[in-house]
Amino acid sequence: METTFNVIVDALPYLLKGLYMTILISVLSIIFSLVIGLIACFMRMSKYAVLRYPAAIYVNLIRGTPILIQILFIYFGAPTALDIHLSAFTAGLIAISLNIGAYNTEIFRGGIESIGKGQMEAGRSLGFSYAQTMALIILPQAVRRMIPSFVNQLTHAIKDTSMLSVIGIAELTMVGQSIYAMNFRSFEILTMVGLFYFITIYTVSFISTKMERRFVIS
C-alpha cells in the first residue's frame, strides 16, 4: 500500500488543476454577480413596476430554491425546454452567477437603503441629478456598509462551486472524487480538498478584512 505522502504527492497536480477551475469559476461568477446584482438592485428600487416586479421575482425564486436544483435546471432543464445546448462550464457559471447575483441584489439594496433619505435630499437640493447623487454621495457611503456582507457572499460563491461537480465540471470537489474513486484513499484526498478550500477562503477573508479596515478608516 502506498504511503500517505505518496498518495498526496500523486494527487497534488490534479487537485491543483481542480483548484484552478474552482478559482476561475468563482472569480468569473463573482464579477458577473456584481453586475447582475447592481442591475437587479436598481430595478428593485425603481418606481416603475415593470422593472421592480421582475427583479423581485428573480430574487425570491433564487432565494427560495436550493442551488443544486438551480444548477441542474440550468444545465439539464432549461436547455431541453429551449432546445439549446450549454456546456457544463457555461451552465455552471450562469447558475452560480445568478445565485450569488440574487443575494448581491439584496446586499446592495440594503446598503443603499441604510443611507438616510436626507443624504439624497441634500444632494438633490444642491442640483445634482438622481444618478449623480447616487454615484457621488450615496454609493460611497453604502459600499462601506455592504463590504462585510459582500465578503461573506464571496466565501459562499467559492463554496457553492463545489456543487458543480454534479454536472461534471472538473473543479476541486469533482477532481477529488475521481481520485479517491480510483485509489480508495478518501481520507487523504478529502482532507486535501477541504484544506484547499479552507486556504482559499481564508485568504479571501483575510485580504477582505484588511481592505475593509482601510475603507472604514479613510
114 binds another protein (CB under 8 A): no
Q: What is the CA radius of gyration of the chain?
A: 21
Q: Which of 68, 136, 199, 207 binds another protein (CB under 8 A)?
A: 136
Q: How far is the CB of 211 from another protein (least distance, A)?
A: 16
Cα 154 from Cα 136, distance rounded (Å): 26
Nearer CB in complex with another protein: 51/139: 139
138 to 177: interface string for another protein, x by CB under 8 A: --xx--x---------------------------------
Q: What is the residue type of 114?
A: S
CB nearer another protein, residue 54 or residue 140? 140
User: Which residue from 67, 137, 147, 157 is in contact with another protein, where contact means CB under 8 A?
Assistant: 137
- Which residue, 32, 35, 51, is CA-closest to 43? 51
**Number of chain positions touching another protein (CB under 8 A):** 17
Cβ contacts of 69 within 8 Å, gap of 6 or more: none
Query: What distance in Å separates the CA atoms of residue 158 and residue 153, rounded to the nearest whole number?
Result: 9
Assess 125 for contact with another protein (CB under 8 A): yes
- Tell me: does residue 14 bind another protein (CB under 8 A): no
Q: Which of 20, 32, 73, 128 binds another protein (CB under 8 A)?
A: 128
The residue within the footprint of another protein, chosen from 90, 132, 183, 203 (CB under 8 A), is 132
Q: Which three cell numbers stand for residue 172?
A: 476541486
- Written as one string, the DSSP assignment of 19-57 is HHHHHHHHHHHHHHHHHHHHHHHHHHT-S-HHHHHHHHH
Element (H, E) at 165: none
Detail the DSSP E strand segments found in the chain: none
**The length of the chain, given as a count of residues:** 218
**In the complex with another protein, which residue's Cβ is closer, 23 or 120?**
120
Show the binding pattern over residues 59-78: x = contacts another protein (CB under 8 A), - = does not: --------------------
Nearest distance from residue 102's CB to another protein, in Å?
Answer: 28
Residue found under cell 438622481: 130
Q: Where on the chain is the footprint of another protein (CB under 8 A)? A: 116, 118-119, 121-122, 124-129, 132, 136-137, 140-141, 144
